Structures are given as structure tokens and as C-alpha cells.
Amino acid sequence: MDFQIAMLLGQDGITNGAIYALLALALVLVFAVTRVIFIPQGEFVSYGALTLVMIQAGAIPATVWLLLGAGLLAAALDVRLALRAGQPGRLVRLLGWYVAYPLALVALLYTLPVKDFPMAAQILFALAVVVPMGPLMYRLIYQPIAAAPVLVLLIVSVAVHVAMVGLGLLFFGAEGSRTPPFSEARFEMGPVMVSGQTIWVVVSSLVLIVALYQFFERTLYGKALRATAINRVGARLMGISPALAGRLTFFLAALIGALSGVLIAPITTIYYDTGFLIGLKGFVAAIVGGLASYPMAAAGALLVGLLEAFSSFWASAHKEVIVFTLIIPVLLWRSLRGRHVEEEE
Amino acid sequence: MNANIHGSNLILKTVLEVRDLTVSYGKVEALSNANIKVGEGQIVTVIGPNGAGKTTMLSAIMGLLESRGKVDFDGTIEGVPVVERMVARGMNLVPEKRELFGEMTVEDNLVLGAFQRHRSGHRDHAQTMEEVYQLFPRLKERRSQLAGTLSGGERQMLAVGRALMAKPKLLMLDEPSLGLAPLIVREIFRIISELRRRGVSILLVEQNARAALQVADYAYVLETGEIAMEGPARQLADDPRVIEAYLGLGGKHQEMLST
């Protein structure tokens, strides 16, 4: 291996690592606030990317029907609750978000020539379709079992993942797709060529991470989510309901997932089930952080990205094996350290 | 009956009226048919030994525990109270375990106390925080410190301050003196009287019966899940049964500390 190849692989590793870092942050966030191990995180990656592909192909993305269906279901549930609780004032808001919003989206996608819009607008449409599925998923699937043990939540997560992959095959077909890059620019940095898309991925990830940090440190709702993660009972006593925190968390997780998908769609071919593998690597990174530490998770993501890139050069047939084997020493180290802490107490 | 509460001559509005509140853990009834009332601007205390069901009662009123019975708060009856709804309506609980956000700063803890108020459109938490800081100057000194690093007394002050950030109509305090040094206990009770002066109604659960009876207007004695006695606090403090069971004799030293 010469220096140039090493630089190329490093660049690849950092690009992928940036995406894994985003997904790892989302996984840590979801687990800390709701105790859900969010296996379907990766599905938002492929849903985001492939919804963008459909929009660019001039089709009505099938995911919008899923959004409408889930919205109707949630509306049926919540309208009944609102009526029983004697709060008819909430009806308008509920119906607005659950039913009117997806319908408006469908209408816009049918009437506007979205195919000819600039890419930024197409991306916004893709996010507008995919991201609201996050809070809806929380409302329909996790909120009714919010008090269940972690294991039950995990089993449900696996079920949701399988269902979403199946629906993905139905919506997008078995063909893989790519989107055109955000910019065709190429930069020469010494001996290495850096593609514009790589810079987009790394910079967007950094911006998103900083934005998330600001959100958690500065805003009331960010603090409320942290409070829920630290002390659930205390948060409830402040009027921060677990349902609100859960919906907000899933919104962020879906946003991060869909955005990651949109970012990497020009670099790798995305299939309906690609997201799972990407999400799993984010999960490995999150495990490095013990599902609790954000900086450790981000560092783990970078490690996973680089390990993947270099092992694809030396032993490309085994690159997944090498990446996922990383979990074993990490878990060993964590459990040995964990027992030590227990002894101290 | 609503207007003239607890037989006093003052005409008071009832803030909280609990009727036949029953809580069971499995088949065991931890609280049976409890009836209590809190008038506006009053301090009402519930005293009793360990395991009498005091914390259970507060948790049930707040909606943290499932219960049967009726909780009439501020004119609206809740069949089954839900925590977030009770907070939104102006009820606040300072739990026995404080339940602070340990890895967040004192100031962030206080800001979160106003979360529900902020959500419902009252964006005045900066002013409320100044009031809380006036009441607890110590918290202002420690504003940027993590809540988990505070001493026991400071943690209790923060827990009360955080609850006050919601500007509650009814503040429920669960064992505010638990585990605190006598001088700090005295400080806490001074603040409880100060809060009444500011018009906050308080439901106080205490094991420190002497201090509680001194500060309260009306008192209930809870024993093995049932209200055993009730009456104006002064009267109860002189009741021989209460003296024997909860106050003991010759507690001059304690009496001095609790004033």
C-alpha cells in the first residue's frame, strides 16, 4: 500500500465514519430517552435515500402513502382519546398534523413539477415525507408499550425493522439506485483528490452534530430531553411527559436517518435493505460509547469507518466480519470494567 | 362545606379535596379511603410513622401511582390523575427522593421547573428564577454547579426551588427535612412559612411531627394506611395521644431547633 491509497482509504473511512457517527448519536439518544434499542434506525436511511430517488424520477414516492396510513391510524386513536378526555379543542391540531399534513403533501407532489425542482427542494420534500414517520412510529408502536422492559422493546424493534424492510421492497423494488452528487467539484489536496460529495458529507455531519449539541445545551426542549434521559420521574414531575419526549426523540432520529441516507445516496448504491447494515455499523459505534456517551460513540464511529475502509483493501471479502468482530473486544472490555465499578459500590 | 373548611372562622376556598382515596399494591391496601382537604393559602400536614402510607398518598394524588377515589383539585375532579396534567393545572410535588437532574446545572434544573409554564405560553421564567434566588441565595451562588455535587440541604432547596418555578397553586412536600442537619431543617421550615406568606397552599408530609405541627394550620395523622386523627395543628400538638406517639416528652431542644 502506498501513501496515495492510504489517503484514499482514509478519506473513505472518514466519510463513512461521519455517517456512522450521526446514526450512533441517534441510537444513543433514542436509547437514553426511551430505552428503545432502535434497530429500524437504518431503515430511515434507505427510506430517505430512495424517496429522494423516486422524487427525482418524477414518481409519487410510495412512502407518502405509508405516512398517510399511519397518520389516519394515529388520528383514529388520538381523536378517541381526546373526546374521552373531554378536550375537543385538541381535535383540530391532531387532525391537522395526522391527516391534513400528509394529504397536503400528496397534493403538492401531484400538482408541482417536483422532478424539475433544484435538488435542495427535492431533498426537502423527501425529508418532509420520511421524517414525520419517526414521531408517528413512536405514537403507534412504542408509546402504548412505553413501560415495557428493555427486552420487549428490543423485540418490538426487530419486528418493526423486518416490517419496514418488507415495505421497502414493496415501495422501492429490488433495484438499487444512486442519486446525482450535490456537487461535481473535485479538490486537490496534495496528492489526493477529494470529491465534493465527501466534503458535503463530512461538513453536513459536523454541522448537524454541532446543531444537536446546541439544541441539547441551549434550548428548553433539548434540556427536557436530557432531563428525561437522566431522571424519568423527575421529568414527569416537571410536566415533561414521556410521550412528548419520545415523539421528539423519534423525530430527531428519523431526521438524522433520512438526512444520512440523502447524504450517502450519491456515494453508494442504496437498496431497500441497505440501511440495516449501515445502521448496524452505527450501532457498533454506539456500543463503543456504551449506549450512553456521545463523544465516545462519535469516536467509535470514526474507528468503525476507518476499520471498514482499510479492511476492504486488505481483506475485502471479510470487511463486515472484521467490523462486527470489533464488538467482541469492546463488550469484553466494557463488561470487565462494569464489574469493577459494581465492586466499588 | 366547601366554603368553610376545617371549622375555622375564616372563609377559605378549597384547593384540594381528596375523597375516599385508596391505593393497593397487589392485594395489600397501602392507603384506605383517605379524605383530606387543603384550603387556599393553608399549610396542611400529614404526619405518621414510617410505612403509614404518606408517600403513597402524595404519589396517588399526583398521579404517579394508580388509585381509586376522587381528587378534586382547584374545582375540577380527576378520576385518575395524570402527572403531566396535574402539573399543567398547578399542582407540584417535591418527592422524597428529590429526583433532581444530577448531571445538569442548578440553573438548568430550575429552568426545567418552568417547562410546563413555558409550554402553555408563560415565558416569564427569568423573573420567577430571580424570586427563587431571593428565597434561596445559596442556589444563586451555585447556579452553574452540577446538581449532583450539591450537599443534602442544597439539594432540598433546589428541589423546592425547581417546584416553585412552576408557580404552583398547591405545593406538596414529601419529607422535606429527611436526612438534613437540624439547622438546615430549621431553614427549610422557615421557608415553608415564608411560602405560605406568599400565598402558596402547601400539603406537607413529615415524620418530624413537632416541626410540622408548629408550622401547619391543620393536621392529619396517618397510621397503617388510614387517617387516625385530624384537627387544627395546635390542638393536635396538645393531644396526649399525639404527644405520646410522635412528640415525646421533654423535647425542649428539638422545639428550639424547629422554630
Contact between chains at A237 and B118 (C-beta distance less than 8 A): no
Q: Give the residue-averaged pLDDT of B12-37.
A: 89
Q: What was the pLDDT predicted at B257?
A: 56
- pLDDT band, very low/low/confident/very high, at A339 (cuts 50, 70, 90): low
Q: What is the pTM of this model?
A: 0.87
Instruction: Specify if A325 maps to a domain.
Output: yes
Instruction: With a cut of 70, say whether residue A341 has pLDDT above it.
Output: no
Give the least confident one: A96-105, A157-166, A284-293, B219-228: A284-293
Q: Give the residue-averaged pLDDT of B238-254.
A: 71
Any B CB within 8 A of A231 CB: yes
Instruction: With a cut of 50, say whether residue B3 has pLDDT above it.
Output: no
Contact between chains at B103 and A230 (C-beta distance less than 8 A): yes
Residue B171 DSSP one-character state? E
- pLDDT band, very low/low/confident/very high, at B158 (cuts 50, 70, 90): very high
Any A CB within 8 A of B238 CB: no
Instruction: Specify if A236 maps to a domain.
Output: yes
Give the least confident one: A52-66, A275-289, B9-23: B9-23
Mean per-residue pLDDT over chain A, rounded: 88
Q: Which residue in chain A has the smallest CA separation from B87?
A: A239
Any A CB within 8 A of B162 CB: yes
Any A CB within 8 A of B104 CB: yes
Question: Percentage of chain B with pLDDT > 70?
Answer: 91
- pLDDT band, very low/low/confident/very high, at A323 (cuts 50, 70, 90): confident
Q: What was the pLDDT predicted at A345?
A: 29
Mean per-residue pLDDT over chain B, rounded: 86
Q: What was the pLDDT predicted at B259?
A: 54
Instruction: Specify if A289 maps to a domain.
Output: yes
pLDDT tens readout for residues B160-172 = 999 999 999 999 9
Q: Give the residue-averaged pLDDT of A276-302.
A: 86
Contact between chains at A238 and B113 (C-beta distance less than 8 A): yes
Instruction: With a cut of 60, say whether residue B27 has pLDDT above it.
Output: yes
**CA–CA gap between residue A144 and residue A164 (Å, rounded):** 19
Residues 6 or more apart whose CB falls under 8 angstroms from that of A103 comprise A68
Q: Which residue in chain A has the smallest CA separation from B97?
A: A234
Contact between chains at B95 and A237 (C-beta distance less than 8 A): yes
**CA–CA gap between residue B40 and residue B144 (Å, rounded):** 35
**CA–CA gap between residue B18 and residue A147 (Å, rounded):** 27
Q: Which domains does chain B have, with CATH numbers?
A: 2-90+168-256 (3.40.50.300), 100-166 (no CATH)
Residue ranges in A35-144 assigned as alpha helix (H):
41-56, 63-84, 89-95, 101-111, 119-130, 133-137
Q: What was the pLDDT predicted at B1?
A: 41
Q: Which residue in chain B has the smallest CA separation from A229?
A: B101
- pLDDT band, very low/low/confident/very high, at A338 (cuts 50, 70, 90): low
Give the least confident one: A213-222, A228-237, B174-183: B174-183
More reliable by pLDDT, A160 or B198: A160
Count of the separate structural domains present in chain A: 1
Which grid cell sits at B174? 414529601
Instruction: Specify if A202 maps to a domain.
Output: yes
Q: Give the residue-averaged pLDDT of B233-251.
A: 78
Q: What was the pLDDT predicted at A82?
A: 78
Instruction: Specify if A117 maps to a domain.
Output: yes
pLDDT tens readout for residues A135-159 = 999 999 999 998 899 999 999 999 9
Residues 6 or more apart whose CB falls under 8 angstroms from that of A304 comprise A16, A17, A20, A281, A284, A285, A288, A323, A326
Q: Cell 376545617, residue?
A: B6
Is residue A285 classed exposed, middle or buried when 0-12, 13-18 and 19+ CB atoms within 10 A define those classes? Answer: buried
Instruction: Specify if A344 maps to a domain.
Output: no
- pLDDT band, very low/low/confident/very high, at B253 (cuts 50, 70, 90): low
Instruction: Specify if A223 maps to a domain.
Output: yes
Which grid cell sits at A18? 461521519
Q: Give the residue-averaged pLDDT of A104-120.
A: 88
**CA–CA gap between residue A211 and residue A214 (Å, rounded):** 5
Query: How many angstroms separate the CA of residue A89 from the nearest CA in chain B?
Result: 14
Instruction: Specify if A342 maps to a domain.
Output: no
Q: Are A39 and A281 in contact (CB under 8 A)?
A: no
- pLDDT band, very low/low/confident/very high, at B6 (cuts 50, 70, 90): low
Contact between chains at B64 and A230 (C-beta distance less than 8 A): no
More reliable by pLDDT, B7 or A302: A302
Q: Which residue in chain A has the smallest CA separation from B81?
A: A85
Instruction: With a cut of 50, say whether residue B4 has pLDDT above it.
Output: no
Contact between chains at A238 and B103 (C-beta distance less than 8 A): no
- pLDDT band, very low/low/confident/very high, at A64 (cuts 50, 70, 90): very high
Q: Are B44 and B204 in contact (CB under 8 A)?
A: yes
Residue ranges in chain B assigned as alpha helix (H):
54-62, 83-88, 106-113, 115-119, 125-135, 137-141, 152-164, 182-197, 209-215, 233-238, 240-242, 252-257
Q: Give the residue-averaged pLDDT of A279-286.
A: 90
What are the strands, taking DSSP E only, across chain A?
186-189, 192-195
Q: What was the pLDDT predicted at A343?
A: 36
Query: How many angstroms separate the CA of residue A151 from the nearest CA in chain B?
Result: 24
Residue A20: domain span? 3-333
Of A220, A226, A239, the CB nearest to B87: A239
